Structure 1
């Protein structure tokens, strides 16, 4: 019949077994915690990757909008110059009529 007493350690000291039994719950808690931390870090890495991809798209859109705004500004500046020239021409024509 098999004995229900704990097996002896190789050095013959049987007090080590209860000590290792006390560490077993602590080891499993540490292991579980490390698994949770690793899973959380993997999730954060996925989120960081998604954020990087999204920010790349956002930066592209900002650049497109910036270019579009600069083109619109140039166009408005050209329109402004044309209207100013036309206004000065009208003023010159009116001044010339008054002086005659």
Structure 2
């Protein structure tokens, strides 16, 4: 966390102004206008973001970086094979 903050300072990254409004009540357009980005919506998206982060690779080291990616990819692969309660509720009645 400290390393990423220092990276932002070193590279003069823009920061957003703190927002005291309920983000869940804002429209996508309003959040975008304020420069608020969404967090990854799935483990798959988080893995993609992590795998493309040179900073994370530098911070945790190449070996741990690779091990984390492998572990999370296995977790995602296992998750994809599961049938969720939502899927059962949604699709089982129409079969």
Is the radius of gyration larger for structure 1 or structure 2? 1
Using structure 1 for the length normalisation, give the TM-score.
0.28
Using structure 2 for the length normalisation, give the TM-score.
0.30
Report the structure, 1 or 2, having the larger helix content. 1
